[in-house]
Structure 1
Amino acid sequence: MPSASELPARVAARSRTEARIRTDRLSGRFVFIVQCGIGAALAWWLAKDVFDHPLPFFAPVTAIISLGLSYGQRVRRAVEVMIGVAIGVLIGDIFAHLFGSGVIQLLVVIMLAMTIASLFGAGLLITIQAGVQAAIITTLVAAPGQAFTRWLDAVIGGSVALIISALVPATGLHRPRQQAARVVDEIAAILNETARVIRTDDTALATRTLERARASEAMLVELQSLASEGVAVVRLSPFRRRHLPGAQAISDLLEPLDRSIRNLRVLVRRAAVGTKRHEVVPAAYVALIDDLARSCADISRELHERHAPVAARAGLRRLGERSAAIDPDSGLSGEVIRAQVRSMVVDLLLLTGVPLDEAGGYIPVSGRPTDEGDGEGDGADEDESTPN
């Protein structure tokens, strides 16, 4: 528990952190917010001034709803939302025009709109939007002369959103690369903590580090989403098509990063096991972990600088050569750790663009086959490293 004198400093630090998080969140959403504003205003202008609708409420609403979706599937899902809104508005308009509004009418029109959407093969998103918009239409009775104009307003708003989605993606293409750099940064940090675990025999830190290694999977999942979104954006937007090679290059990082994180979890788990059992892990093996972390830092720096991560290759090659040396005093956990370092060297070489066959050639064969993993089902595949 912090003392009274430490409390103001901790509160100030926490406030600065919260402010930075909120500022980063706003920065990440700013382009999206601008797009929603422009899309809503444009949809309103088209419906009101071009199509002469006196109160085109559904045009800006549909534009905002359609834009407020993940931009990787944004165009497809914007189409779904537009269709769902249009179906709901059309059914609601027809029903309200014929039968008026009320509790029974609301019940029937929602069920009818969602049923028709489902019969047309709509997904859940379209079906829900159909029901929501039908409910709004039924409860907001149209003014004289406005019947069925609201359906056209919904189509106008959805069309504006589609154009904006295709031409001006909500999120910059730099985000997948930044996320890839963060993933590699996290790998480096976990490796540094693992080396500290081994040096200090800190079982509590070992447990926390293992939990952190397992949690790193979420960062990779986010990268997978961003990478697929980035490729989708450049394929859909004629103004971004020239960026396809760069977007695809980031997408190609996913497999070696996934393999590296799997090998990392095995390495951290064996470090935790070795610490609890007081097994011997030679200092040379801990130095391998340190150097592997430095190579990860080099890769991350180049990714942040928007360069191909090639500068780390030389260090990884030297690390692969050093990893072939077996210390006869090492325990089982030490040998598994050395094995996982070797596998991660291959993974990171792949990350820098070295072909698999060539990457395996930089890992010399050791004196005896001791690095086959710990049998816990979470480590390297057999083809991820050369035999020792």
Structure 2
Amino acid sequence: MALPIVQSAVAAGLAWVIATDVFDHKQAFFAPIAVVLCIGVGLGRRLRRVAELVVGVSVGIGVGDLLVSAIGTGAWQIALVVALAMTVSVFLDGGALITLQAGSSAVLVATLLPPGGHGGVNRMLDAFIGGLVGLATVVLLPGDPPGITRSHGQRIFAELAAALSGAAEAHTRRDAELAERSLSRARSTQQTIDDFRAALAAATEIAAFSPLRRRRRRRLGRYSTAAVPLDHALRNARVLLRRTVAAIHAGEPVPEPILTALDELAGAAVLLGRELADGQEPVRSAGKLRETAVLLDLSQSAAPSGHSAHVVFAQTRSLTVDLLEATGLDHESALAVLPPPPAAEPGLGARPGSDGAESTDSGTTDPRNDH
């Protein structure tokens, strides 16, 4: 949070100097405003933000100048100008920033800037100056892209490990309440995924803009590779925990090799998180996941009985594939690491883990999770 504040402060002052001293604008208040809107306290999509800013200013000033020149200023004139400016921006398929900026620009034209003068053109130029200065500041005073992503990524791996180890412990202790607590915690992880993806997009943008951070692209590439599989893994973990609760209530035992595999998956998730955070190739975590595949092969000789226990086994397979993909394997190569799945028991269907629980927990069903 401190870096965007410093960037905004430095760039706002610089934009004011450029607009007033270089372009001789007497009311260059919008140049530093544009800087703050461009950089903000959030990261990501700055080029689009600058474009929307300038478009919104242009629409607001254009509509405002035309109307104010004809109808003058006053309460009802301001209301009409704002309504028309925002309507035009909506019909132009503008985003929220364009629409809001069009409205605020129209207000300023109707109240502060004399109609028919050069104030409107100058303000559009000030918006452009502020946007460019904001972008230049981000390039010259960049953050740490891997650092932005690292903290968010670590939370995902920690939550995934907690879900997996919680499921294993709940089965071992036959503790349905523990499983339910783990499920409740896992259900709150979607925001963690969304925050991670937003941070990854911002970090990728910084690395693309700033030549000082381009060497970090490989590390960011590993996080990008892991992002979608991690989302799938957390969704599958929620399904697994739902069926864990059901299996414990139904008295359906889960073979010990599967529980060991769940603990191994939790350890592999933590290890993968560390390797990505340290900028290492995920070699050790990939090896640990291959060992987990061997455990799943052994567990097939003692396949679980009962619907929920069988789904737990199937979701453990799915999670192993998800984490293998997170290490960089493509889907087919990850599937090839695991032994062929056992034939589905009568009534269980051909898609393990697709009993409706996943759509209940996550809102979607991953069509690839039929491994």
- Report the AA paired with residue 76 of structure 1: R
Structure 1 outlier segments of 4+, above 6 Å = none
Of 314, 320, 334, the match for 2:309: 334
Counterpart for residue 320 of structure 1: 293
1:308 partner SS: coil
2:297 partner SS: coil
- Report the AA paired with residue 296 of structure 1: A
Give me the whole-angstrom Cα distance separating, in 1, the residues matched to 2:290 and 2:93.
55
CA contact (8 A) 1:203 1:275 kept: yes
TM-score, scaled relative to structure 2: 0.82
- Report the AA paired with residue 84 of structure 1: G
Give me the whole-angstrom Cα distance separating, in 2, the residues matched to 1:44 and 1:117.
27
Give me the whole-angstrom Cα distance separating, in 2, the residues matched to 1:105 and 1:64.
29
Of 154, 159, 163, the match for 2:127: 154
Asked whether 1:296 is paired with 2:269, we answer: yes
Counterpart for residue 81 of structure 2: 109
- Report the AA paired with residue 207 of structure 2: V
Asked whether 1:85 is paired with 2:57, we answer: yes
After TM superposition, give the deviation of residue 328 of structure 1 in Å.
4.2
- Report the AA paired with residue 279 of structure 1: E
Give me the whole-angstrom Cα distance separating, in 2, the residues matched to 1:87 and 1:163.
25
| Count of residue pairs brought into register by the alignment | 356
Asked whether 1:58 is paired with 2:37, we answer: no
CA contact (8 A) 2:304 2:313 kept: no
Of 149, 165, 169, the match for 1:176: 149
Counterpart for residue 234 of structure 2: 261
Worse-matched range after superposition: 214-223 or 273-282: 214-223
Give me the whole-angstrom Cα distance separating, in 2, the residues matched to 1:352 and 1:260.
13
Q: CA RMSD in A?
A: 3.2
Give me the whole-angstrom Cα distance separating, in 1, the residues matched to 2:321 and 2:52.
43
TM-score, scaled relative to structure 1: 0.79
Worse-matched range after superposition: 188-197 or 254-263: 254-263
- Report the AA paired with residue 113 of structure 1: A
- Report the AA paired with residue 355 of structure 2: E
- Deviation sequence 1:170-216 (CA, Å, 0-9, x none): 67343234323321221101111112221233322222222222322
- Report the AA paired with residue 168 of structure 2: A
CA contact (8 A) 2:53 2:127 kept: no
Give me the whole-angstrom Cα distance separating, in 1, the residues matched to 2:318 and 2:162.
18
CA contact (8 A) 1:347 1:384 kept: no
Of 190, 200, 208, the match for 2:181: 208
- Deviation sequence 1:154-181 (CA, Å, 0-9, x none): 3432332343356555673432343233
- Report the AA paired with residue 336 of structure 2: G
Asked whether 1:270 is paired with 2:243, we answer: yes
Distance verdict in 2 for CA 1:91–1:60, change over 3 Å: farther
Distance verdict in 2 for CA 1:140–1:303, change over 3 Å: same
After TM superposition, give the deviation of residue 235 of structure 1 in Å.
3.4
Asked whether 1:353 is paired with 2:332, we answer: no
CA contact (8 A) 1:60 1:157 kept: yes
Of 352, 363, 369, the match for 1:373: 352
Distance verdict in 2 for CA 1:356–1:57, change over 3 Å: closer
After TM superposition, give the deviation of residue 274 of structure 1 in Å.
0.8
After TM superposition, give the deviation of residue 141 of structure 1 in Å.
5.3
2:188 partner SS: helix
- Report the AA paired with residue 38 of structure 2: S
Distance verdict in 2 for CA 1:115–1:50, change over 3 Å: same
Give me the whole-angstrom Cα distance separating, in 2, the residues matched to 1:44 and 1:246.
37
Instruction: Could you tell me which runs of 5 or more consecutive residues in structure 2 were left unpaired when the two chains were aligned.
Output: 359-364
Distance verdict in 2 for CA 1:103–1:356, change over 3 Å: closer
Give me the whole-angstrom Cα distance separating, in 2, the residues matched to 1:127 and 1:320.
53
- Deviation sequence 1:88-137 (CA, Å, 0-9, x none): 24554665567653213312322343345456554442122111122133
Asked whether 1:191 is paired with 2:180, we answer: no
CA contact (8 A) 1:71 1:170 kept: no
- Report the AA paired with residue 331 of structure 1: S
After TM superposition, give the deviation of residue 348 of structure 1 in Å.
1.4
Asked whether 1:45 is paired with 2:20, we answer: no
State the identity as a percent: 33
- Deviation sequence 1:252-298 (CA, Å, 0-9, x none): 21232233223222221111101111222233322221121111111
CA contact (8 A) 2:223 2:276 kept: no
Instruction: Could you tell me which runs of 5 or more consecutive residues in structure 1 were left unpaired when the two chains were aligned.
Output: 1-28
CA contact (8 A) 2:8 2:39 kept: yes
Give me the whole-angstrom Cα distance separating, in 2, the residues matched to 1:210 and 1:186.
11
CA contact (8 A) 2:145 2:206 kept: no
